[in-house]
Structure 1
Amino acid sequence: MADTTETGLPPNWEVRHSQSKNLPYYFNSVERVSRWEPPAETDTEKLKLYMAKYHNNKGAAAGSAEEGQQGKIRAAHLLIKHRDSRRPSSWRENTITRTKEEAYDIIKAHQDRIQAGEASLGQLASTESDCSSARKEGDLGFFGRGDMQKEFEDAAFALLKGEVSDIVDTASGLHLIERLA
């Protein structure tokens, strides 16, 4: 277990790795509770550095599970949450207070950088996405119809491999989606 001074997590909290989702999560060893988002009182700057050092998988399972995935696609995304999102917190910020309009301006700037060839969606997702999939450059793995929110799913399935969507609005926030397979 990593020292909380290195992780930035409050006492009794640690970072663990979900085998089923291949993503890091947060576990309180005293209360025996787990969660996907960092607990309150987390030093998010320390946590960002710790996660970049120890939990950046860069798509570790990518390609290894591609066989036998009929009817499924693989996509990555960059998520920008706002205060009206379903869960207005993330690994980057304990409480997200930006408006939807401010979130739109942020994601539009990311979209412009991707379209200009300045950065890839995966590169931006690893540092800018409000989803815990940032650890894997936004890679969500394989999913089928009915696995994601409808707006997200419709946009992802409409893409060709290598294409990046326009901005997609869901209950979770604003997304850019890249179809990987």
Structure 2
Amino acid sequence: MVGLPSGWTIKKSRSRNRNYYFNESTKESVWEPPVGTNIQKLEAFEAQSKVKASHLLIKHRDSRRPASWREDPITRSKEDAIEILKSHQKRILNGEQTLSEIASTESDCSSAKRKGDLGWFERGQMQPSFEQATFALKVGELSDIVETDSGVHLIERTG
């Protein structure tokens, strides 16, 4: 399934924040895929383990950190945050604005300065409900409202 020769696994380097290859039996580790790797299978596996996404976050007073670059403190209720997000969602679905355009001025996340772009991430890097929703999307799809400890989100998978 992964495309690696027998005995090899993929590990994550904490110091370099990138994957490396480790042979369980010989204890050898290498940065490049080991000899005998099926590169096509490896690339297909890696494509399924990483996603790229943009999001629009609306925080509320019960968010784990109810403050943002836009507002400090945030006092709106969760219900109000959901209504705000529904309004943005409607504009996106009607083609009036893109998620990126709205995120750049309305998102309570610091990613607003990148139009909501979170870049590439792997499983285990985001809050579970956010990760589950993102990996379930196809590239170009927009999620429904997703709740996390940070607030409520709309997510667009971009890669």
Asked if Structure 1 and Structure 2 have the same fold, meaning a TM-score greater than 0.5 normalized by the shorter chain, the answer is yes
Quote the offset at 1:94 in angstroms.
1.3
Quote the offset at 1:142 in angstroms.
0.4
The alignment-based identity, stated in percent, is: 64
Match status 1:79 vs 2:57: yes
**Aligned equivalents of 2:134 and 2:98: distance in 1?**
17
Contact 1:164/1:178 (8 A) holds in 2: yes
- TM superposition score normalised by structure 1: 0.62
Larger radius of gyration: 2
Counterpart of 2:75, as a letter, is: T
Match of 1:117 among 95, 99, 107: 95
Please name the residue that 2:27 is paired with. Answer: none
**Aligned equivalents of 1:153 and 1:71: distance in 2?**
11
**Aligned equivalents of 2:67 and 2:47: distance in 1?**
32
Contact 1:69/1:142 (8 A) holds in 2: no
Quote the offset at 1:71 in angstroms.
1.8
Match of 1:101 among 70, 79, 92: 79
Which consecutive segments of 4 or more residues in structure 1 shift more than 2 A? none
Match of 1:151 among 104, 126, 129: 129
RMSD: 1.1
CA 1:70–1:104 in structure 2 vs 1: closer, same or farther (change >3 Å)? closer
Please name the residue that 1:141 is paired with. Answer: 119
Q: Structure 2: give runs of 5+ residues left out of the alignment.
A: 1-45
Match of 1:92 among 57, 65, 70: 70
Instruction: Map Cα deviations across residues 44-87 of structure 1 (whole Å, 9 max, x no partner).
Output: xxxxxxxxxxxxxxxxxxxxxxxx86621100000000000000
The count of residues paired between Structure 1 and Structure 2 equals 114
3-state SS of the aligned residue for 1:98? coil
**Aligned equivalents of 1:86 and 1:73: distance in 2?**
25
Q: Structure 1: give runs of 5+ residues left out of the alignment.
A: 1-67
